[in-house]
Amino acid sequence: MRIPVVAANFKMNTTVAEAFELVTSMKKRLNRLSGVERVLCPPFISLVPVKEVIKGTSIKLGAQNMFYERSGAFTGEISPVMLAQICDYVILGHSERRARFGDTDEIVNKKLKAALAFGLAPIVCVGETLEQNEGGETIEVINRQVKAAFDGIDAFRDTVIAYEPIWAIGTGKAARGDQANAVIRVIRGALSKLYGDDAGQTVRIQYGGSVTASNIAEFISQPDVDGALVGGASLKAEEFLSIVEQTAKIKST
Ligand code: PGA
């Protein structure tokens, strides 16, 4: 039984006051749900205030990125040690970081090792570009990214994977449920190859890319989709609540 996980990726949105207000407005209904893990990933500077808001609830907190070194002369960076004091989760290898901030497969691998070493639950993002998708390279790209992310990690430890086709992120053009499910099965296959069938069956894999309250049901009713990584729609309280509530309902039936 895989417990679905829905994560809100605020990205570089919300001031501290706005994040505080948004989370305050969602807290009660989010806390009431069971059978679905709920993770909020505000910007770094809002982590501590949001942690205060969700104190005593079952809502989890996540960061959107981190550096892999534990401390030192790395101006502007945040370390796994710092995050481990505050957060449960950390998003790694988001396509925006890969495309805009130089996060290569090797860097994602170092970050994944660091997150696991310091007790943070990683959400590792993988996904193909439109060009790769149209060129029929999706499976190859996904297999390569998964293999590279887990390089040198001998045993599988609870890691969430987010399949986020880059062409679907922030575009309003989500993948189809069956397309997402097919790629997610490829990811399960890659994990099975690396760590055995058990890992492939137990790993939780989210879909991400233009998820809304109107299309979440299509994804979550797929057998291999274990939740969603939600960007834009997580900034609207009613919409995000509906996404999480539909996930809980559909996965419990
Ligand atoms: P989106 O972003 O929901 O705004 O498409 C998803 C993500 O990048 O995690």
Mean per-residue pLDDT, 196-212 = 97
The residues lining ligand 1, judged by C-beta closer than 6 Å to any ligand atom, are 9, 164, 169-170, 208-211, 229-233
Q: How far is the CA of 21 from the centre of ligand 1 (A)?
A: 21
Candidate list 94, 96, 218, 245, residue with the active-site label = 94
Residue nearest to atom 2 of ligand 1 (CA): 231
Pocket test for ligand 1, best of 11, 97, 123, 171 (most atoms within 8 A of CB): 11
| 94 among known catalytic residues | yes
The alpha helices in the chain, defined as continuous H runs, are 16-32, 47-54, 80-84, 95-100, 105-117, 130-134, 138-149, 177-195, 197-202, 216-220, 237-252
Q: Residue 95: what are its φ and ψ, rounded to 5°?
A: -60, -30
Q: How far is the CA of 85 from the centre of ligand 1 (A)?
A: 26
Q: What is the rounded CA–CA span in Å between residue 226 and residue 162?
A: 9
Task: Please report the pLDDT score of residue 246 as a whole number.
Answer: 98
Task: Please report the pLDDT score of residue 11 as a whole number.
Answer: 98
Q: What is the average pLDDT score of the chain? A: 97
Task: Please report the pLDDT score of residue 253 as a whole number.
Answer: 84
Taking each helix axis from N to C terminus, what angle separates 138-149 and 177-195, rounded to the nearest 10 degrees? 40
Q: Predicted confidence band at 122 (pLDDT cuts at 50, 70, 90)?
A: very high
Mean per-residue pLDDT, 59-86 = 98
**Given a cut of 90, is residue 104 above it in pLDDT?**
yes
Place of tokens 């992310």: 149
Q: Are the beta carbons of 207 and 225 closer than 8 angstroms?
A: yes
Q: What is the pTM of this model?
A: 0.97
End-to-end CA distance of the chain: 13
Task: Please report the pLDDT score of residue 1 as a whole number.
Answer: 84
Mean per-residue pLDDT, 42-62 = 98
Q: CATH second-level architecture of 5-238?
A: Alpha-Beta Barrel (3.20)
Q: Percent of the chain at pLDDT above 70?
A: 100
Task: Please report the pLDDT score of residue 74 as a whole number.
Answer: 98
Mean per-residue pLDDT, 47-61 = 98
pLDDT per residue as tens digits for the range 129-186: 999 999 999 999 999 999 999 999 999 998 999 999 999 999 999 999 999 999 999 9
CA dihedral 241, 162, 190, 182 (to 10 degrees): 60
- Residue 89's H or E segment, with its range, is strand 89-92
